[in-house]
Every structure is written in C-alpha cells, then in structure tokens.
C-alpha cells in the first residue's frame, strides 16, 4: 500500500484512474447528431427542401398536362427542366440544380453558423467544456454533425425529387447530355453520385460557417453572417468583371455536377470543385481549431 | 491520509493558486494576484460582493479562460493544461444552469454525460436517473427543460454536476433563484456531499449562507483576496458585541458607558456596544444590577462574517466599480 503510494508520488490518487476510452468518446458524436436532427428547426429546414422538388414536379405536370411543352424551351427555368416530362429521374437533377445556388447552402449556413455560437449563447458550451468534452473533440463532433446535415439535406432533395418524378412522369432509359442512352439503373447510380457531389460541394461553406460560429456568442449573428457571406459570394460570382477571382469562390464549380451526366464523364471541373472545397475546409478548419482552442469562454 | 511525497504540491490542497491574475480583453482587471488554498475535505465558501472576481476565478480554475498571470492547480495538476485529466473528477455549476430547452431534463443529463469521454455509455442511463433522484427531479425527468422553473433548472444543473462520483464540486452561487425551501435543500445536499468526503468550493455573496454550511472561507474584494481561513477563525477575528436586553435602556446605557463600553446603540429594549478590552463581563453585569437596571438578557453576540467583512474592508458589502 505505502509502496504504491510512493510509486505514484505526487500524482493522482487511485480514484483518478478513470480512463478515457476512444470508443466512449464517440458518444459525443452520436449525441451531437441526435441534438442536431431532433430540433424542430432542423426538421423545418428539411421540410422546406423536400417541398421544392414536389412543387416543381407538380408545376411541370400541370403546365404540360394539355400536351404542351414548357414555355421558353431549354433556356427558361433551372437546368434539365425540359427533360423532366420525358423522364422523371431528371426531376432529381432539376431539383438539385434549383436548390444548390441558395436553398441548400442557406440551410447549411443556418446549421453550421449556429453550431458553436448557439451553444455559447445558451451557456451550454461552458458545461460541455467542463464535462470535459475537449475543445478539439467538440469541434470535430460539430463538424461531423454539420457534414451529416449536408448529406441529409441533399439526400432529402434527391429522394423527394425521385419519388415525385417517378410518380408523375414516365421513367426508363436515360438520355445523357452527351446523347448516349443508359439504363434506368445506371441513371439512378449517376443520380446518387450527383447527390454525393452536391453534398461535398457544400462542405467548404459548412466549414466556413463553423469557423464564423466559433467567433461569436450569438447563434443568430453567426447564421446571418454565414448566409450573408453566401449571398455576397453568389453576387461576386455573377459579376463578369471579377472573373479573375471567380475560380477561388467556393460556389464557382457548384454546377459542375452536371458533368457526371456525360459519357465519358468530364472530370475536370468536378475535381477542381472537390479540390476547392478541400482547400476551404483545410483553411477554415484550421482557423476554427486554432481560434476556438485558445478562446476565453465566458458566456 | 498521509502523502509523504507530496512536498512539491501544497499539502492536501485540492485547489491552489499562485498569483493568479486575469485581465479581460476589454482591459478590466478582474482578479489580481490571487493565492488561494482549498484544503481537501473542506466546504470552502468563496465570498465577495458582486463583481469582485468570484466567477472569473472559477472560470480559470475550470479552464474556461486563460489566466493572464500566475498559475492554478486543481487536484494537484496544472490548469488549464491538465483539464482533460482533472475535469472528469470535478462537478461544476457556473453562473447558473444552462440547458437545452428542447430536450427533456433526462436527455439534458444524457447529453452532458456523453460529453465526458471517461463516462461508460452502458451505465449512462442509470447515472442520469440516479442524479435526477438525488436532486429530487425524478418526477419531472420527462418534461422539456424549457418548461422547468428556475429552481428546477438549478437542480438539473446540480444533477449534471453529480453525474459521476466527484472529488471536487465547484458551485458558483448555487442557491441563486431558489426559494427558502430550495436553499435549505441545497445546503443539506452540500453537507451530505461533504460527509461523503467531497470537497465543495462554493461561491456566494450571501454571508449567512457561508456561515451556515462552510468550514473554510476566503473573502474577495475588488479582485483581490483579503483573507482566508476557517470560518471559526474568521468570526473570532472580529470581536463580538455585548448585548443587554432590558426595560430600562436609558439607565443601562449610562452605566455601560461609565464602565467603558464603546459604540453604544439602543434599539428598543436592547442596548449593544463594544465591550472594553480586558474587562470581566461579569463585572459589567454586576454594575448594571447594582444600578437597579432590570437585566433580562446579557451576553456576547458572536461577530458575523458581515462584521468581519466590514472590519476588513472598511466598507459595506457593495458592488465594486
Ligand atoms: N467577459 C468579461 N469581459 C470583461 N469583463 C468581465 C467579463 N466578465 C466579468 N468581467 C468583469 O470582471 C469583474 C469580476 O467579475 P466576476 O463575474 O468575476 O464577478 P463575481 O464576483 O462573480 O460577481 P457576481 O457576484 O455578480 O457573480 C467585474 O468587474 C466584471 O465587470
Ligand atoms: Mg459571479
């Protein structure tokens, strides 16, 4: 007994031997997912996203029910709209193209912006930190929950579009943008690949939102700042005089997902998009980690 | 408990700080040169008026903010450096409870428990239920926390602090917002925990609260520590006042004044004052009786911590600027 005491010296007493387990520490990630997806706000955002393809599908159905075509041809409305009547699967591409510029990233901005700032504002952040969640671990848990939301949000749009499309329009062989036809099964696979690509396109913004979220104690302020930034970037991206900086805007390659509908697939912009998202994630992820790790938590 | 090798660490101190200082980013010097030593097993009352730096000190002890000077050790290890090793053994209530309003009371506890990487998920539910029972919230466990009253929130915050067996509990104004019944319950809970050998560090601006539950106390004033020691030492430090109850206050005042009692105050049938040094109190009583004063009660009233505070600072117990 006394020997044991001598051995441990001035170190922790016996009762301090309650070790952290790697598997146990995953509990925070599960808890984070539960907390994110059980909120009414999250469900409301997903409901809005689900409504978009349903409404678009119904509108197209009504407009074309007298045998006419969609007015304006290829140029009017979001991409692929004119193909929807021929194949319901195209509603997936239409809905993603319609929600990607604003609706989808806006919901991501809300969830990411609120992630840390919301906890700080409510005061729960200090209790998580003394639990002790660990600042890096908490940030990682928040990041994974935001990523899960990106994927869920995109999947919500895609699944509701697919269901609406299959219900209202014929399905069958899919004619790709390059003119080749592929089976419906392969078309479905490509739709899944597109959904994953769209979700990954949102990761840069998600990380940026998380970074902003670590800077303030007001969830609303962080959400507003993130969404505001998104709008600003979209506007900058639409100004031709600024095309020098366009390749560095996280929105620049967003619509490149359509290249997955070519045979052979046109990888150039797809890879540039992923690279750009990875760059934003690395830069703002490190900034969030460095800033949050050293920050005074007084709220 | 003998700890022969702990010479480099203050003997038996659960919390010890050396010159701990915090200047907030706005330039406010909130805590300055704090040397605090909280003995193991004590119920330590951390006392000070609003704005004196109690919460700031607690935030530094728990690693929420970085000191701008000095150092702090909790359970013998440096903070905030060893936060991940130390904090699983520390339960805390800081500046009131904070809850997820959209989760039930029980789910709130499950979430806080999940945040602790040393908490076994298999016994998580049982821990939450036990903690709820301990603070008397079992009946409201399934209610959304946003529907809790202030006192219920405070209890849930305490339950979160009690999820695991702790070595140290840090409670920042734990009776804030509670009714007298709730205050009594918290006090008896604190005593119960102390009987289990848990060190309780409890901040308050209520002097009588500290007097009722604490064994030790430290007094803060404008970010500085003015004194620390046992509660008994502290009260003994300020001399008690002599109090006489009599239907003849006028005559009593005259006699006491003659006998050298200073600062005489008459309040209805009670006359009180500071007894002269080196004077046998029985002689004073005899003098009163000889003068025909009908003495109903005669005694020395123990100095309260408030008296101590006033005598130490020369000021009332007011907010610092
Ligand atoms: N986040 C902050 N930024 C700047 N100054 C602060 C901050 N928090 C507290 N202060 C200042 O530090 C000083 C000490 O505040 P602290 O909250 O530690 O006092 P306290 O003793 O806990 O008071 P109370 O009894 O009211 O809780 C005050 O002057 C306060 O204005
Ligand atoms: Mg305080």
pLDDT tens, residue by residue, B136-146: 899 999 999 99
Mutate to test the interface with B, among A5, A127, A130 (most CBs of B within 10 A): A130
B175 and B272 within one domain: no
Enumerate residues lining ligand 1, CB below 6 A.
A 298; B 24, 26, 28, 30, 48, 50-56, 205
B119 and B69 within one domain: yes
Query: Is the pLDDT score of B279 beyond 90?
Result: no
CATH number, position B105: 3.40.50.300
User: What is the ipTM for the molecules in this complex?
Assistant: 0.86
What is the average pLDDT across B284-304?
84
Q: Which ligand is nearest to the CA of A299?
A: 1
Q: Which helix (H) or strand (E) holds A175?
A: strand A174-175
Residues of chain A below pLDDT 70: 1-17, 66-79
Query: Is the pLDDT score of B5 beyond 70?
Result: no
Contact A39, A122 (CB under 8 A): no
What is the average pLDDT across B233-256?
81
Q: Alpha-carbon distance A269 to A253, whole Å?
A: 6
CA distance B245 to chain A (A): 51
Residues pairing with B78 in the sheet? B73
Which residues in chain A have Cβ-Cβ distances shorter than 8 Å to B66?
294, 296
pLDDT score at A77: 61
Closest CA to A92 of A174, A42, A159: A159
- Does B133 reach chain A within 8 Å, measured CB to CB? no
**Centre of ligand 2 from the C-alpha of residue B170, in Å:** 12
pLDDT: which is higher, B229 or B168: B168
pLDDT score at B71: 94
Rg (CA), chain A: 23
- Cross-chain Cβ contact B76/A10 below 8 Å: yes
Q: Alpha-carbon distance B42 to B13, whole Å?
A: 10
Which residues in chain B have Cβ-Cβ distances shorter than 8 Å to A11?
76
> pLDDT (tens digit, 9 = 90+) per residue, B173-223?
888 777 888 888 888 888 988 998 999 999 987 777 788 889 999 988 889
Mean pLDDT taken over chain B = 86
Please compute, for residue B210, the number of CA atoms within 13 A of its CA located in the half-sphere on the CB side. Answer: 30
Q: Candidates B22, B36, B53: which one to mutate for ligand 1, based on the most atoms within 8 Å of Cβ?
A: B53
Task: Tell me whether residue B41 is in a domain.
Answer: yes
How far apart, in Å, are the Cα atoms of A41 and each of A114, A158, B175?
Answer: 11, 20, 34
Q: Which residues in chain B belong to E strands, given as ranges?
A: 13-23, 29-34, 37-39, 43-47, 69-74, 77-79, 90-93, 168-172, 199-204, 216-221, 224-230, 241-245, 262-267, 270-274, 297-301
pLDDT score at B58: 96
- Cross-chain Cβ contact B64/A296 below 8 Å: yes
Q: Compute the 3-state secondary structure of chain A and give helix, strand, coil in percent, each to the nearest 5.
A: 75, 0, 25
pLDDT: which is higher, B307 or A11: B307
Residues pairing with B74 in the sheet? B15, B77
Task: Tell me whether residue B312 is in a domain.
Answer: no
Q: Provide the residue ranges of all domains of chain A, joining segments of one domain with +.
A: 20-293
Q: Which of B231, B259, B281 delimits the end of a domain?
A: B231
pLDDT score at B6: 38
Q: Alpha-carbon distance B156 to B133, whole Å?
A: 10
pLDDT: which is higher, B285 or A69: B285
Task: Tell me whether residue B199 is in a domain.
Answer: yes
B181 and B67 within one domain: yes
Q: Alpha-carbon distance B94 to A190, whole Å?
A: 52
pLDDT score at A9: 35
**Domain, as residue range, for B159:** 13-231
CATH number, position B288: 3.30.70.100
- Cross-chain Cβ contact B98/A122 below 8 Å: yes
Contact A23, B120 (CB under 8 A): no
> pLDDT (tens digit, 9 = 90+) per residue, B95-133?
989 999 999 999 999 999 999 999 888 999 999 999 999
Minimum-distance ligand 1 atom for the alpha carbon of B321: 29
DSSP state of B268: T
pLDDT score at A74: 47
Q: Which ligand is nearest to the CA of B56?
A: 1
Query: How many domains in chain B?
Result: 2
Minimum-distance ligand 1 atom for the alpha carbon of B22: 12
Minimum Cα–Cα distance from A132: chain B residue: B116
B47 and B145 within one domain: yes
Q: Which helix (H) or strand (E) holds A174?
A: strand A174-175
The three-state secondary structure class of B265 is strand
pLDDT score at B304: 66
Q: Which positions ≥6 away from B52 have C-beta within 8 Å?
A: B220, B221, B222, B223, B320
pLDDT score at B59: 95
Q: Alpha-carbon distance B7 to A155, whole Å?
A: 61
pTM: 0.85
What is the average pLDDT across B241-248?
87
Q: Alpha-carbon distance A110 to A104, whole Å?
A: 10
> pLDDT (tens digit, 9 = 90+) per residue, A41-82?
999 999 999 999 999 999 988 887 766 555 544 445 666 777
Q: Alpha-carbon distance A101 to A235, whole Å?
A: 11
The band of B262, judged by pLDDT with boundaries at 50, 70 and 90, is confident
Pairing label, strands B13-23, B29-34: antiparallel
pLDDT score at B303: 65
* Residue matched to tokens 């998009």: A273
> Quick one: what percent of chain B has pLDDT higher than 70?
89
How far apart, in Å, are the Cα atoms of B74 and each of A155, B14, B190?
Answer: 48, 6, 20
**Centre of ligand 1 from the C-alpha of residue B10, in Å:** 28
Buried b / exposed e across A243-255, counting CB within 10 Å, b at 16+?
A: eeeeeebbbbbbb
B52 and B152 within one domain: yes
Minimum-distance ligand 1 atom for the alpha carbon of B28: 5
Pairing label, strands A181-182, A174-175: antiparallel
Instruction: Identify the residue whose C-alpha is closest to ligand 1 atom 17.
Output: B55
């Amino acid at each position: 007994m006394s020997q044991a005491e001598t051995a441990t010296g001035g170190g922790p007493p016996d009762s301090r031997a309650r070790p952290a387990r790697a598997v146990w520490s995953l509990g925070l990630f599960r808890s984070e997912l539960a907390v994110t997806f059980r909120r009414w706000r999250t469900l409301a955002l997903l409901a809005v996203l689900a409504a978009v393809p349903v409404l678009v599908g119904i509108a197209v159905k009504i407009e074309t029910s007298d045998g006419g075509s969609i007015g304006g041809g290829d140029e009017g409305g979001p991409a692929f709209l004119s193909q929807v009547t021929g194949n319901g699967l195209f509603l997936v591409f239409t809905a993603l193209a319609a929600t990607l510029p604003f609706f989808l990233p806006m919901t991501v901005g809300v969830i990411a912006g609120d992630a840390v700032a919301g906890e700080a504002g409510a005061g729960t952040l200090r209790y998580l930190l003394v639990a002790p969640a660990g600042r890096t671990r908490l940030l990682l848990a928040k990041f994974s929950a935001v990523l899960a939301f990106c994927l869920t949000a995109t999947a919500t749009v895609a699944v509701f579009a697919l269901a609406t499309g299959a219900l209202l329009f014929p399905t069958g062989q899919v004619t790709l943008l390059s003119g080749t036809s592929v089976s419906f099964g392969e078309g479905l696979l490509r739709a899944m690949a597109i959904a994953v690509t769209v979700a990954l396109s949102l990761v840069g913004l998600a990380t940026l939102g998380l970074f902003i979220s670590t800077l303030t104690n007001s969830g609303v302020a962080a959400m507003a700042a993130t969404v505001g930034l998104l709008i600003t970037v979209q506007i900058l991206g639409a100004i031709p005089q600024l095309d020098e900086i366009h390749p560095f805007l996280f929105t620049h390659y967003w619509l490149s997902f359509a290249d997955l509908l070519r045979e052979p697939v046109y990888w150039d912009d797809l890879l540039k998009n992923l690279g750009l998202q990875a760059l934003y994630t690395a830069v703002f992820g490190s900034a969030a980690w460095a800033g949050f790790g050293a920050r005074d938590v007084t709220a | 408990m003998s700890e022969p090798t702990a010479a480099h660490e203050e003997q038996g101190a659960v919390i010890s700080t050396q010159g701990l200082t915090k200047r907030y980013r706005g330039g406010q010097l909130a805590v300055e040169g704090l040397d605090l030593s909280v003995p193991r097993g004590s119920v330590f009352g951390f006392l000070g008026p609003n704005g004196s730096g109690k919460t700031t000190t607690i935030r530094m002890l728990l690693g929420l903010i970085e000191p701008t000077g000095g150092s702090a050790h909790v359970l013998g290890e440096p903070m905030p450096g060893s936060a991940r090793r130390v904090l699983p053994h520390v339960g805390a209530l800081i500046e009131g409870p904070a809850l997820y309003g959209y989760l039930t009371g029980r789910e709130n506890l499950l979430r806080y428990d999940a945040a602790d990487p040393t908490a076994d998920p298999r016994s998580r539910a049982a821990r939450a239920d036990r903690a709820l029972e301990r603070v008397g919230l079992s009946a409201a466990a399934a209610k959304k926390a946003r529907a809790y009253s202030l006192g219920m929130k405070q209890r849930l915050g305490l339950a979160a602090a009690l999820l695991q067996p702790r070595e140290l509990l840090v409670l920042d104004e734990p009776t804030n917002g509670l009714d007298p019944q709730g205050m009594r319950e918290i006090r008896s809970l604190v005593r119960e925990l102390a009987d289990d050998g848990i060190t309780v560090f409890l901040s308050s601006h209520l002097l009588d609260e500290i007097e009722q539950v604490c064994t030790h106390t430290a007094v803060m004033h404008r970010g500085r520590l003015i004194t620390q020691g046992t509660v008994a030492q502290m009260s003994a430090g300020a001399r008690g006042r002599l109090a006489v109850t009599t239907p003849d206050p006028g005559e009593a005042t005259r006699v006491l004044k003659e006998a050298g009692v200073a600062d005489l105050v008459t309040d209805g049938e009670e006359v009180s004052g500071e007894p002269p040094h080196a004077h046998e109190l029985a002689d004073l009583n005899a003098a009163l009786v000889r003068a025909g004063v009908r003495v109903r009660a005669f005694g020395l009233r123990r100095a309260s911590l408030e008296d101590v505070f006033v005598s130490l600072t020369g000021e009332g117990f007011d907010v610092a600027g």
